[in-house]
């Protein structure tokens, strides 16, 4: 009897357990209420889309950061949904000038609700140089496209018949103005010093180089392997572009600066000498032939310049201007030119004893990026030992052009600038 009772009890318990698990039960059993899920929280935006500024022909990218579950994204242009734009980031098609001023936002949603982001604006500036075009001093390079950041490089001087290089680095043209050569001139080959700055960049193979020699050796040096760095760095390489030139026959010296990039090839230099009155027409002719003036100097009442062709840019026509301004006006002129999309590509200055002329040659093409959006040709005007003009050409950001501190009213900056048609 006891054994039968035990078995019966176990069977009853098992039966009850099964009935409860299945949601049923007899009149004497108890039931659990069905479980309910809490409502899904609506998403929240942690980081809003930011306004973008890009050169014509380039794409702009917008992004949003949101928190939540099972999020869906829908980007809008001017309040109208963009087909297929359903991720946390959106990249526009290649831009045109007509796209400037357009607005973008994104709706972030899930089953719990939705939230719309702040509106971000797109600014389209003038056309940028082709990527890797050394004639424009790395304006559109990955390493410097958004500016130089916090420069950690060196400001120094090239003296007499010496040479130096920096790699990987970008460098300025020579600072120009009164004080770079002895007055009265000397004939010992050490009467001039050319000041410049260089900034390290994360671009292996990119170098900034500077060298000077006797004036009478100018033509011969450009036909050989001068200077003897022993590492392939030379101004006449097809990987190089001369970015600064100063001819000082009174001090029997000349100096060159150049940029060289192992990853870029096909640059060909043309050297010409013209009367100052013919410089504008010469620059226009170079631009029409897809060549860009990158270095310029005064010599015996004439203007000597280097203009470069590039095998990757044989059909572009560049508009040019010649702009001359005194030290107290050049900053405003820089702002005006930058706002029009011009880029300076060569610089020179008339000093107190008339032995050099500072010219700026460039093109209108553009400038890049939102902030700080610096056009990376820096124009340096030096008077004496300390006073300098540092002009950073920033299109659409004229209020950010640096001021002029030179005290010499006789200094004139002449700019030849280009823009791409």
Cβ contact 344:362 at 8 Å: yes
| Rounded Cα distance, 319 and 311, in Å | 19
Q: What DSSP string describes 240-281?
A: EEEEEEEEEGGGTEEEEEEEEETT---EEEEEEEE-GGGHHH
Same-domain check for residues 97 and 227: no
Gyration radius from the chain CA atoms: 33
* Structural domain for 109, as ranges: 44-125
Q: What does the pLDDT look like over 72-123, one tens digit per residue? A: 999 999 999 999 999 999 999 998 878 989 999 999 999 999 999 999 999 8
278 shares its domain with 373 = yes
End of a domain among 125, 153, 179?
125
How is residue 188 annotated by DSSP? S
Whose CA is closest to 158, among 114, 103, 91, 211?
211
Q: CATH number for the domain including 85?
A: 2.60.40.10
Q: Are 213 and 242 contained in the same domain?
A: yes
Say how many domains are in the chain.
2
Does 202 share its domain with 273?
yes
Give the residue among 360, 338, 337, 358 at the shortest CA–CA distance from 348. Answer: 358
On the 0-12 / 13-18 / 19+ scale of CB atoms within 10 A, 112 is middle
- Of 233, 282, 285, the closest CA to residue 256 belongs to 233
In a domain, 1, yes or no: no
Looking at the fold, whether 298 and 377 belong to one and the same domain comes out as: yes
Average of per-residue pLDDT values in the chain: 74
**Residue 52 falls inside a structural domain:** yes
Residues 57 and 161 in one domain: no
Query: Does residue 207 sit in the same domain as residue 247?
Result: yes
Residues 378 and 230 in one domain: yes
pLDDT digits (tens, 9 = 90+) for 286-309: 988 999 888 888 877 788 999 999
Question: What separation in angstroms does the CA of 405 have from each of 156, 323, 397, 410?
Answer: 19, 20, 20, 14
- Pair 67, 43: CB distance under 8 Å: yes
Looking at residue 179, its pLDDT comes to 57
**Beta carbons of 126 and 397 less than 8 angstroms apart:** no
Tell me which residue of 107, 114, 120, 119 sits closest to 73, measured CA to CA: 107
Q: How confident is the model at residue 164 (pLDDT cuts 50, 70, 90)?
A: very high
Do 60 and 177 reside in the same domain of the chain? no
**What pLDDT does residue 346 have?**
76
Average the pLDDT over each of 41-55, 99-113, 232-246, 393-407 and give the range with the smallest value: 393-407
User: Is 155 in the same domain as 85?
Assistant: no
Are residues 206 and 112 part of one domain? Answer: no
Domain boundary among 93, 125, 157: 125
Question: 188-223: per-residue pLDDT in tens?
Answer: 888 899 888 888 887 888 999 999 999 999 999 999
**How far from each other are the two terminal CA atoms of the chain, in whole angstroms?**
108
The string of DSSP codes covering 45-93 is EEE----EEEETTS--EEE-EEE-SS-EEEEEETTEEPTT--SSEEEPP
Mark which of 125, 155, 189 sits at the end of a domain. 125
Tokens at 301, concatenated: 């009442």
Residue 355: the pLDDT is 33
Does a structural domain hold residue 282? yes
- Does residue 38 form part of some domain? no
In a domain, 33, yes or no: no
What is the model's pLDDT at position 235? 97
Q: What is the value of pTM for the model shown? A: 0.65
Asked if the structure places residue 54 within a domain, the reply is: yes
Give the confidence band of 330 by pLDDT, cuts at 50, 70, 90: low
Residue 34 in domain = no
Query: Residue 398 carries which DSSP code?
Result: G
Return the SS3 of 364. strand
* Three-state secondary-structure class, residue 337: helix
Same domain for 320 and 248?
A: yes
**CA–CA distance, 235 with 277 (Å, rounded to integer):** 28
């Amino acid at each position: 009897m006891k054994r039968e009772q035990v078995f019966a009890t176990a069977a009853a318990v098992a039966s009850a357990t099964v009935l409860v698990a299945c949601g049923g039960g007899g009149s004497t059993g108890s039931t659990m209420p069905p479980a309910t899920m809490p409502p899904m929280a609506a998403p929240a935006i942690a980081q809003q889309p930011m306004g973008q500024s890009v050169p014509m022909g380039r794409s702009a990218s917008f992004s949003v950061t949101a928190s939540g579950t099972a999020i869906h994204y829908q980007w809008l242009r001017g309040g109208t949904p963009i087909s297929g734009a359903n991720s946390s980031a959106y990249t526009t098609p290649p831009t045109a000038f007509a796209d400037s001023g357009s607005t973008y936002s994104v709706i972030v949603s899930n089953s719990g609700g939705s939230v719309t982001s702040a509106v971000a604006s797109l600014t389209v500036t003038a056309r940028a140089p082709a990527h890797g075009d050394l004639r424009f001093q790395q304006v559109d390079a990955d390493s410097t496209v958004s500016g130089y950041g916090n420069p950690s490089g060196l400001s120094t001087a090239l003296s007499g018949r010496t040479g130096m290089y920096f790699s990987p680095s970008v460098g300025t043209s020579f600072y120009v103005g009164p004080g770079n050569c002895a007055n009265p001139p000397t004939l010992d080959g050490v009467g001039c010093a050319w000041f410049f700055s260089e900034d390290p960049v994360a671009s292996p193979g990119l170098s900034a180089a500077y060298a000077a020699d006797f004036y009478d050796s100018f033509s011969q040096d450009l036909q050989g392997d001068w200077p003897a760095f022993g590492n392939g760095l030379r101004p006449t390489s097809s990987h190089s572009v001369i970015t600064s030139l100063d001819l000082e026959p009174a001090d029997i010296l000349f100096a060159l600066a150049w940029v060289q990039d192992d990853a870029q090839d096909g640059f060909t230099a043309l050297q010409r000498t013209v009367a100052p009155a013919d410089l504008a027409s010469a620059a226009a002719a170079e631009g029409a032939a897809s060549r860009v003036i990158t270095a310029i100097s005064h010599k015996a009442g004439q203007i000597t310049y280097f203009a470069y062709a590039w095998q990757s840019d044989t059909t572009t026509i560049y508009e040019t201007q010649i702009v001359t301004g005194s030290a107290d006006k050049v900053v405003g002129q820089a702002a005006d030119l930058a706002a029009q999309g011009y880029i300076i590509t060569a610089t020179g200055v008339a000093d107190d004893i008339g032995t050099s002329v500072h010219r700026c040659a460039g093109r209108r093409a553009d400038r890049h990026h939102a902030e700080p959006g610096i056009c990376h040709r820096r124009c340096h005007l030096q008077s004496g030992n300390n006073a300098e003009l540092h002009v950073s050409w920033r299109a659409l950001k004229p209020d950010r052009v640096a001021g002029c501190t030179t005290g010499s009213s006789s200094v004139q900056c002449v700019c030849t600038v280009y823009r791409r048609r």
